Chain A
């Protein structure tokens, strides 16, 4: 690719419009406070390993402070405010996020490693849209399907992952606030910066103190939230393993929970699929956001008679993927978010080699610093291979084949996960038949990895509890008659 006459000149987005503080406190009760633990940890740019800032480790007592702030805000302010006015705060937040969109995008890319093209065109606009969408719900909850006058849970503890830091924040905070809950939110320890910038947005929007509290830390902070007696509901996005831990932890306390967990999505390509569109969908399905996507189309299931043609086209298309500087506007595939995640991707990929699958990657030079993994496919994958069963959460695609439609569905459903699935066919009846037969919460037919605030998202089986987005997601933050 280096020798291509069509090589792009570097087109880096400017870093100048973000100012990152050397260190951050916790955002509790509308103000910045230092953690009682007095402990800070570094957050780095995964593309360069440069330290971006020092972040506070919230201890149990910090969590307790945040819960008290959220409880007081709930009791004294937020639950008493007319819903119409509550909604206006969300509209304000949406507008400020739009105004500061480029700043958020650059910061997200610096802290996460995702291409600026994605943070700018997907993460940030969708995050703002989530606030705008839910703002309008605030004074219409009687129509949310739970009968008249549904009630919020109260104080909600929210724990989000590192793959879509700001977007996951929006998915969590917007519906919680619209329905009248107050929140404390913990971003992932490797990607806290956009959540901390969001705290500034709350200040600019003059959101009453304590309605949103942002606390940073590792798994211990998350555990303190899950086990805190005065949190009414937990909303978690992350691994199925941690999701199950949370489910056990709250078994006795009776807290409600929504869990948005792992996936191993099948992307089924039938012989009558629009092949060029399907290739784009496959690439988007697995290489979007470096494959750090719970709903990534990580198992490609192709009808046998088009396999050779599809594989050749896929390899050609993969050769055009530009891997490198996430801030470059031409970059398609950015950095892996952390050394730990890179090690996991490598370990699972090696299992693919040793279990007998065939690895292929296009020629691409990877930067010497930072965490990188070339776009990769495995062929000759069988259902028993670890790379066909376990979530890799990286740019690694496992390819399987099928002969009959029934076989495709059986292979697709042969997983404890059930988050998403893809179907490619030009035949309408086949699309609807497959959509019905697939056990997954989101079915992308002749498209993949599309998201919208109005569209419910969430999984069957071990991919979690509940939905986020749309009326279905809203109801997860409300209590109706049972």
Chain B
């Protein structure tokens, strides 16, 4: 008799822990071939609020870390992912179908994207900051700072690349995030959380929920402790609804087309300008 596989229980990633949903719910995931694959956790509003609390708690430490330090940790994530390459490829193939070549290319691009954003951590302020030549005896400079807690609705189709294209820029600048994984293809996101848990990333910087986008997204948009929202993973009709809900605390809400762009970092940063007199 052939060996029976040891199947994995797929859980949420909140505050560095792997809880099941507090609701006790799960949902069924099927592969590209229509066969059963797993029963990941179906996150609830309460799980989302726990994730926001974790993200908020992690914010002072992460945004206060040096940019050099953040860059090293992002690079470390790429290192850990490199070691799990085969697992990511297998999950993408199972969920998305397609060719091994395409799945491998997606994993490669995702890992390289971490490296790209890792290198940005200690450069974005140089590019996006300024000293301003004002007409008076004052020293005046502008620096971009982290926005705070960002909600991310990851792109649904390319389950790994879409996710990393959203979260790497968000956390590279010192934000923390609450992420809703691809609803039908959440496994690479969960495997990524396992990589994150062993990559020196402080607990709570990234919190990953699996479940129904239609159920979770409105709570993400209306939560008053969330400062920004990446809506790349929803259609324009839902985006409009989220924008209306997000207006309550004037969330910065953005949709992106490119995976690799400084704009993805800058969209979730705030420019701070400081004045000080010059004199003896």
* Chains A and B come from one and the same complex: yes
Interface residues of A (CB under 8 A from B): 129, 145, 240, 243-244, 247-248, 250-252, 254, 259, 261, 416, 431, 435, 440-447, 450, 452, 454-458, 460-462, 464-465, 467, 470-472, 480-482
Q: Taking CB as reference atom, which chain B residue is nearest A467?
A: B271
Residues of B within 8 A of A240 (CB): 250
A435 to B143, CA, bound (A): 11
Cβ contacts B236-280/A at 8 Å (1 or 0 each): 100011011011111010111110010100010011111111000
Contact of A244 among B236, B248, B255, B257 (CB under 8 A): B248
Cβ B142 vs Cβ A462 within 8 A: no
Which residues of B lie under 8 Å from residue A444 when comparing CB positions? 275
> Which chain B residues border A482 with CB–CB below 8 Å?
254-258, 261, 263, 267
Instruction: Using known A-B contacts A461-B249, A482-B256, A482-B263, determine if residue A455 contacts B134 with beta carbons closer than 8 Å.
Output: yes
Partner of A445, one of B130, B267, B274: B274
Contact of A470 with B243 at beta-carbon distance under 8 Å, contacts A441-B273, A447-B138 already known: no
User: Would you list the 5 A-B pairs with minimal beta carbon distance, nearest first?
Assistant: A251-B243, A247-B247, A452-B134, A445-B276, A454-B132
The reply to whether A470 and B130 contact each other, CB–CB distance below 8 Å, is: yes
Residue of chain B at shortest CB distance from A420? B273
Separation in Å of the A249 CB from the closest CB of chain B?
A: 9
Determine the distance from Cα of A240 to Cα of B250 in the docked complex, in whole angstroms: 9
Chain B proximity of A270: nearest CB distance (Å): 14
Apart from A244-B247, A465-B250, list 18 A-B contacts with CB within 8 A. A145-B127, A247-B243, A247-B246, A251-B240, A251-B247, A441-B272, A441-B273, A443-B272, A443-B273, A452-B135, A454-B140, A455-B273, A456-B271, A460-B272, A472-B142, A472-B271, A481-B263, A482-B257
**B24: interface (CB < 8 Å):** no
Q: Does B128 contact A (CB under 8 A)?
A: yes
- Which B residues, 132 to 191, have Cβ-Cβ distances below 8 Å to chain A? 132-136, 138, 140, 142
Interface contact A431-B276, CB-CB below 8 Å: yes
A residues less than 8 Å from B240 (CB atoms)? 251-252
CB proximity of B233 to chain A, nearest CB, Å: 15
- Cβ of B47 under 8 Å from chain A: no
Smallest Cβ-Cβ distance to B131: which chain A residue? A454
Q: Is the CB of B250 within 8 A of A464?
A: yes
> Number of A-B pairs whose CB atoms are under 8 Å?
112
Q: Is the CB of B273 within 8 A of A442?
A: yes
Please tell me if B227 contacts chain A, counting CB pairs below 8 Å.
yes
Task: For the complex formed, measure the closest distance between the CB of B221 and the CB atoms of chain A, giving whole angstroms.
Answer: 10
Contact with A481, one of B243, B250, B258, B276 (Cβ below 8 angstroms): B258
Question: Residue among A254, A446, A460 with the most chain B CB within 10 A?
Answer: A460
Whether the pair A440, B272 counts as a contact (CB closer than 8 A) is yes
Dominant secondary structure of chain B at its interface with chain A: mixed
A94: min CB distance to chain B, Å: 13
B128 contacts which chain A residues (CB < 8 A)?
145
Of all chain B residues, the one with the shortest Cβ separation from A463 is: B250
Query: Which residues from B are CB-within-8-Å of A247?
Result: 243, 246-247, 250
Query: Chain B residues with Cβ under 8 A from A472's Cβ?
Result: 130, 142, 271
Across the interface, do B142 and A461 meet the contact criterion of CB distance under 8 Å?
A: no
Pair B136/A471 contact, Cβ less than 8 Å: no
Chain A residues whose C-beta falls within 8 Å of the C-beta of B277 in the assembled complex: 446-447
**B244 and A251 contacting across the interface, CB-CB below 8 Å:** yes
Among A251, A441, A443, A445, which residue has the most Cβ atoms of chain B within 10 A? A251
Bound-complex Cα distance A435 to B273 (A): 9
Residue pair A461, B271 in contact (C-beta under 8 Å): no
Q: How far is the CB of A408 from chain B (nearest CB, A)?
A: 16
- Indicate which residue in B130, B136, B241, B270 contacts A450 across the interface (CB closer than 8 Å): B136
The reply to whether A456 and B132 form a contact with Cβ atoms under 8 Å apart is: yes
Q: How far is the CB of A187 from chain B (nearest CB, A)?
A: 24
Residue contact A455 to B227, C-beta cutoff 8 Å:
no
Which residues from A are CB-within-8-Å of B275?
Answer: 442-445, 447, 450, 455
Taking CB atoms, residues of chain B closer than 8 Å to A441 are 270-273
- Chain A residues contacting B247 (CB-CB under 8 Å) are 244, 247-248, 251
Chain A's closest residue to B258 (CB) is: A481
A410 to chain B, nearest CB (A): 12
29 A-B residue contacts at CB 8 Å?
A: A145-B127, A244-B248, A247-B243, A248-B243, A251-B244, A252-B240, A252-B243, A261-B250, A441-B272, A443-B274, A445-B275, A446-B276, A447-B275, A447-B276, A450-B134, A450-B275, A452-B140, A454-B140, A455-B273, A456-B271, A458-B271, A462-B250, A465-B252, A470-B132, A470-B142, A470-B273, A472-B142, A481-B258, A482-B256
